[in-house]
Amino acid sequence: MTADLRQRIFAELSSLCIVDPHTHINPHAPAAGNLSELLGYHYYTELAHSAGMPKALIEEPGIDPRSKVERLVANLAPLENTIQYSWLIEILQTFADFNDQRLTPENWQQAYDTSLGRMQGHPWADHVLQTSRLQAVFLTNDFDDPLEGWDTSKYIPCLRTDDLVFHLKSPAVRDRLQAATGQSVTNRNTLTSALHALFHHFSAHQARACAISLPPDFIPTRVSAGRADIAVENLLMHGEQCSPADQRAVSHFVFWTLADFCREYDLPFDLMIGVNRGVYADGVHQGRDLYDSRVSLIQYRELFNAFPQVTFPVSVLASVTSQELASYAWIFPNVVTNGHWWYSNTPTYIEHDLAGRLEAVPQTKQIGYYSDMYKLEFALPKFNMYRRVLAKVLAERYVVDRGWSEERAVALGTTILKGNTERLFGIAPAAP
């Protein structure tokens, strides 16, 4: 019986104080203010909508938080099987004295009131961090974020670059870039200067990573200076009407330049590979994106070879790509496996993908998990889901199958869950 063994390993892993290396936390409002901000997480709105709840009911303008929760709760029954639903119940059990297995029209009001009382107690966010044993979380900052007004050792800046690589044809994006950097963008050189200014700004504010999400058809390549000159000039002249070829050349040029600054500023470059945006056009907010599993890391061959000094923590959307990721991290010194992203962030796929990585990628090159959360409360159930799977794999595949001692298995789990994140992103561990 491995149940006890799994439980013991899980308990050891749960006692660790950790860093969450990728979230969408707003540092000015890191925790939820009421239950609506938990139920408003796209997993619940998109799954309720998928199960039949009209979008208009979910996204009615001006709806008050209590009514929104009432409506969503009435549509949660079809989701009770999902792992995402279990996150919600675990949050309520941990943080709101909730004792049931289901959130229903009968019991939601008490959960609402209890959680509201807690959330409005003042050091709520810090309480959540402590209860979740979180030392710090990474943010996802727009490139023009002033990065001021919070403790950057607890809420660590990360430069998110999707807008720069894919939306520079938009005048609004270029205006934001100019406003953020004081650099007017008129050609390749001034564009490079503006990007440089961003890295200087982020680095000065303790940013520890640069990040981007990438569509499946993206194949980055080095663009010659001459070609970049022309493409940038055409993009500045034609904006949204710029030719696809010029847009692509600018995307590649900006992407390559970002990688170059990551090298110069010693920042890992998180690549989140594979998402198609807006596939379900009429979906709810943040519930429109999907993917095409026909993507390969061979598309990043030139990049990985060109920047041996840059660490690339790579996330992929589909389990099929996760085997490639394990293989590329096994061969390329600068490729690191990074968490279990989005549509692969469910126990069955985590188990398969994690086991595949543990067996073939050096233990120092695996960032076990990040929560991707928007509100702090979700770290606990999401990391617990991961820790349970990690404990299962360590118990079954290391202690049982390979005869490892329990201590050795826990040490491996600790490296994956905690040590690598600290080391690869340069975060000093908390005092024990």
For 38-100, the DSSP string reads HHTSHHHHHHHHHTT--HHHHS-TT--HHHHHHHHHTT-GGGTTSHHHHHHHHHHHHHS----
By CB under 8 A, residue 361 contacts its own copies: yes
Among 57, 83, 173, 180, binds its own copies (CB under 8 A): 83
**Is residue 303 within 8 Å of residue 165, measured between CB atoms?**
no
Please list, in sequence order, all residues whose beta carbon lies within 8 angstroms of the beta carbon of residue 33, skipping any fewer than 6 positions away. Answer: 119, 120
Please list, in sequence order, all residues whose beta carbon lies within 8 angstroms of the beta carbon of residue 68, skipping any fewer than 6 positions away. Answer: 36, 39, 40, 58
Do the bridges between strand 366-367 and strand 335-338 make them parallel or antiparallel, or are there none, so unpaired?
parallel
By CB under 8 A, residue 293 contacts its own copies: yes
Among 35, 69, 242, 358, binds its own copies (CB under 8 A): 358
By CB under 8 A, residue 279 contacts its own copies: yes
Among 104, 363, 406, 414, binds its own copies (CB under 8 A): 363
x/- binding map, residues 46-65, to its own copies, per CB under 8 A? xx-xxxx-------------
Question: For residue 140, what is the enclosing H or E element?
Answer: none
Shorter beta-carbon distance to its own copies: residue 206 or 276: 276
Shorter beta-carbon distance to its own copies: residue 54 or 117: 54
By CB under 8 A, residue 328 contacts its own copies: yes
x/- binding map, residues 178-207, to its own copies, per CB under 8 A? ------------------------------
Among 100, 320, 406, 429, binds its own copies (CB under 8 A): 320
Shorter beta-carbon distance to its own copies: residue 194 or 297: 297
Among 321, 337, 338, 421, binds its own copies (CB under 8 A): 321
Q: Which stretch binds its own copies (CB under 8 A): 91-99, 168-176, 226-234, 402-410?
A: 402-410
Helix axis angle, 379-393 to 347-358, nearest 10°: 50
Among 99, 225, 244, 401, binds its own copies (CB under 8 A): 401
Q: Which amino acid is at 399?
A: V
**Residue 302 tokens, joined:** 């030139």
Among 30, 274, 287, 339, binds its own copies (CB under 8 A): 287
Shorter beta-carbon distance to its own copies: residue 18 or 393: 393
- CA terminus-to-terminus distance, the chain: 33
Among 341, 388, 410, 425, binds its own copies (CB under 8 A): 388
In the window 403-422, what residues touch its own copies (CB under 8 A)? 404, 408, 412
Among 17, 63, 74, 86, binds its own copies (CB under 8 A): 86
CA–CA distance, 96 with 73 (Å, rounded to integer): 16
In the block, residue with structure tokens 């975060």: 427
Nearest-approach distance from CB 83 to its own copies, in angstroms: 5
3-class DSSP assignment, residue 27:
coil
By CB under 8 A, residue 308 contacts its own copies: yes
Please list, in sequence order, all residues whose beta carbon lies within 8 angstroms of the beta carbon of residue 76, skipping any fewer than 6 positions away. Answer: 44, 48, 85, 102, 103, 104
By CB under 8 A, residue 7 contacts its own copies: no
Nearest-approach distance from CB 405 to its own copies, in angstroms: 8
In the window 217-276, what residues touch its own copies (CB under 8 A)? 276
Question: For residue 112, what is the enclosing H or E element?
Answer: helix 108-120
Number of residues that bind its own copies (CB under 8 A): 78
CA–CA distance, 319 with 352 (Å, rounded to integer): 8
By CB under 8 A, residue 123 contacts its own copies: no
